Amino acid sequence: MPKPGGFASATVPRHLARGAVGFGALVASLALLPVAGWVSLLLAPVGLLALRGCPMCWAIGLMETISAGRLRRSCANGRCELTRPAK
């Protein structure tokens, strides 16, 4: 199934795993700061890469991943509407 947007993942479990890695790396980079020093901040780019740039981008991708295939947008004569695909 093609991705509906630039932030969506192929499946919800894959997207949640990316979120766990991303948020885990961001939290670990700050939590380990007293123990490992500035080296722990190297985890921050890993977290941002897993979240594809920012936590909000990840949240938008989660909504896109959940709604993939459930709604279709069709535009005609300058008017757009959302419809459910025929089963």
Question: What pLDDT score does 13 carry?
Answer: 93
- Please check whether residue 41 lies inside any domain of the structure: yes
Classify residue 1: in a domain, yes or no. no
- Contact present, 3 and 67 (Cβ < 8 Å): no
In a domain, 35, yes or no: yes
- Type and span of the H or E element at 82: strand 79-83
Question: How many domains does the chain contain in total?
Answer: 1
The predicted pLDDT at position 56 comes to 92
Q: What is the pTM of this model?
A: 0.72
Domain range for 43 is: 12-83
**For the chain, what is the mean pLDDT?**
86
Q: What's the full length of the chain, in residues?
A: 87
Is 16 a member of any domain? yes
5: Cβ contacts below 8 Å, ≥ 6 apart:
60, 61, 64
Q: What share of the chain is helix, strand, coil (3-state, %, to 5)?
A: 60, 10, 30
| Two tokens, residue 30 | 């700050």
